[in-house]
Amino acid sequence: MLRRLLLVLVLLTGVPASSHAQDGISQRQQEKILAKKAKEDKKAKAQKEKDDRKRHLSVQDKKTRKRIERNRRRAERGGPGPHRDGFFRRLFTR
């Protein structure tokens, strides 16, 4: 009688534990959540870099901002490789 009672109690306490194992989210949902989080992190990082660059320019004086802009345009014209100064600049500068 006591053994049956103990057996029933053990079985009753074990049943809820096995049902909780299936309450978690699926692997596909986890991957979706991680992908979404990575995308948001990437977007936030890009926005922060943009804000930092904007703040950096706002701290500079007007003369420096103009020089930075001029050099940026020259770099864009030349492409991704290292730039080469113009013919006259190479000829008449030290």
pLDDT of 10 higher than 60: yes
Per-residue model confidence (pLDDT) at position 5: 72
Per-residue model confidence (pLDDT) at position 7: 77
pLDDT of 77 higher than 80: yes
Alpha-carbon distances of 4 from 8, 9, 11, 16, 17, rounded to whole Å: 6, 9, 10, 19, 21
15-59 residue pLDDT tens: 555 555 566 889 999 999 999 999 999 999 999 999 999 999 999
C-beta separation of 47 from 36 below 8 A: no
**In the chain, what is the greatest distance between 2 CA atoms, to the nearest angstrom?**
109
Residue matched to tokens 């926005």: 47
Tokens of 15: 């049943």
Question: How far, in Å, CA of 70 to CA of 50, rounded?
Answer: 19
Domain boundaries defined on the chain: 26-76
Per-residue model confidence (pLDDT) at position 74: 85
Instruction: Give the rounded distance of the alpha carbon of 86 from its chain centre.
Output: 39
Per-residue model confidence (pLDDT) at position 13: 74
Per-residue model confidence (pLDDT) at position 11: 74
State mean pLDDT over 49-77.
93
